[in-house]
Amino acid sequence: MGKTMVEKILNQAGGSRDLSAGDIVMARVSCLMTNDAVGELTVQAFEALGRRPWDQNRIAVVLDHYIPATTENAARTHKLLRDFSRKYGLHLFDQQGVCHQLMLEKFVLPGDLVIGTDSHTCTYGGIGAFATGVGSTDGAAVMATGEIWLKIPETVRIDLQGRLPDHVHPKDIILKVIGDLGAEGATYQALQFSGEGAAGISNEGRFTLCNMAIEAGAKTGIFEPDAVTESFLKDRQAKGIFFKSDPDAEYCRQMTVSLDRLGPQISCPWSVDRVVPVEEVRGTRIDQAFIGSCTNGRIGDLRIAAQILDGKRIHPETRLLITPASQDIYRQAVLEGLIQIFIDSGAVICNPGCSACFGGQGMLWEGEVCIGTHNRNFKARMGHKDSRVYLASPETVAVSAVAGRIEDPRG
């Protein structure tokens, strides 16, 4: 019996060839990431071990959730993490953008085993890495040893067939998948996105799909690296290992998504898996719209939004926040004139970071409604417990911001 690419990556990291799904592997980690959301707890747990970092060049500390510092407590956490990073010579990304975008830009390669103290670490599967989130104590242990034990997950193969129609985007694919699987439908499994339609998904789209695999309970999401991946790595000296699943690999489940029959999707409050076609909630009044986050704050997402907003104004009773995922993306958006379009439309441009996704900016009050491109719409995540959040693609969000209500981007 052949092996899935997840089995191959974890066998490589564990120095074996024979382990399969369900086996325990003690694996060497390629790199570790922690951020200011739980970084203080990770540092405390690490210092209790009385060790030094296993490899300072493979550890990244990112300040992205509460930037610039929004409270005295956030400022204290930032100071602690800055001092800790400088003490040990770790890579410190200080207010440069969302951790997952920065890790993709600077660190991660295909075939890597990446551990992060953030649940959306699975984003890196978009270039063929096995990446997963852990708690602060596990993160501290990895920081000290460079190793982690994992149960090799079973793999759900998701075959993408056909091509996406106009006005339908990778965000719509993953919302459809999560809606079909349910919030716990892939618990401790890997979602492998395959099929002839996968080749037509851009790197940015792949990151969006893998980012939200956790919302179905998955351990990770992953694509087989290919020519699309090579284009992302064109300026990187190291290219990693392009693992692929064997033709006779065993999957615990297979499902097909017919892309050419897919329409715009939307996730309704207060659970990501409450997914319906956007026309079912069309006309719902909104107070705020948000375009950004580690899910959809990339340059392609901003270009889509700019195409909608060019020459238009957002609805006078609606606020629109736009947050590039990194400084590099922000700079590119300035060079392309996208930021000017956003300003002219009446949008507020936020500094690169997690922004409204985590409630750091754009908090909602009682009864207010937001539609955003981020990855979670849990109750009280963005403010008042009686506010409501819908999740959709950048195009759906931009169209809705202009209308002042949830709209179908197909017209």
Distances (CA, A) of 7 to 118, 123, 260: 22, 18, 31
Distances (CA, A) of 256 to 32, 109, 181: 33, 28, 12
Rounded CA separation 319/362 (Å): 9
Query: Domain 5-258 belongs to what topology?
Result: Aconitase; domain 3 (3.30.499)
In 3D space, the residue among 184, 399, 373, 188 whose CA is nearest the CA of residue 296 turns out to be: 373
pLDDT band at 358 (very low <50, low <70, confident <90, very high): confident
In 3D space, the residue among 80, 98, 95, 86 whose CA is nearest the CA of residue 42 turns out to be: 80
223 has pLDDT over 90: yes
The ranges of the chain annotated as CATH 3.30.499.10 are 5-258, 265-403
Residues 6+ apart with CB under 8 A from 354: 64, 65, 98, 293, 294, 360
Residues 6+ apart with CB under 8 A from 28: 13, 14, 15, 113, 146, 147
With contact defined as beta carbons under 8 Å apart, do 357 and 292 qualify?
Answer: yes
Q: pLDDT digits over 191-205, tens only?
A: 999 999 999 999 999
Q: pLDDT digits over 308-323, tens only?
A: 999 999 999 999 999 9
What percent of the chain shows pLDDT beyond 70? 100
pLDDT band at 1 (very low <50, low <70, confident <90, very high): confident
pLDDT band at 343 (very low <50, low <70, confident <90, very high): very high
Rounded CA separation 382/361 (Å): 8
Q: Across all residues in the chain, what is the average pLDDT?
A: 97
331 has pLDDT over 90: yes
Q: pLDDT digits over 23-79, tens only?
A: 999 999 999 999 999 999 999 999 999 999 999 999 999 999 999 998 999 999 999
Distances (CA, A) of 22 to 18, 25, 332: 12, 9, 44
The CATH class of 265-403 is alpha beta
The helix/strand/coil state of 115 is strand
The predicted pLDDT at position 212 comes to 98
- φ and ψ at 403, to 5 degrees? -80, -25
- Enter the pTM of the model: 0.96
The predicted pLDDT at position 360 comes to 81
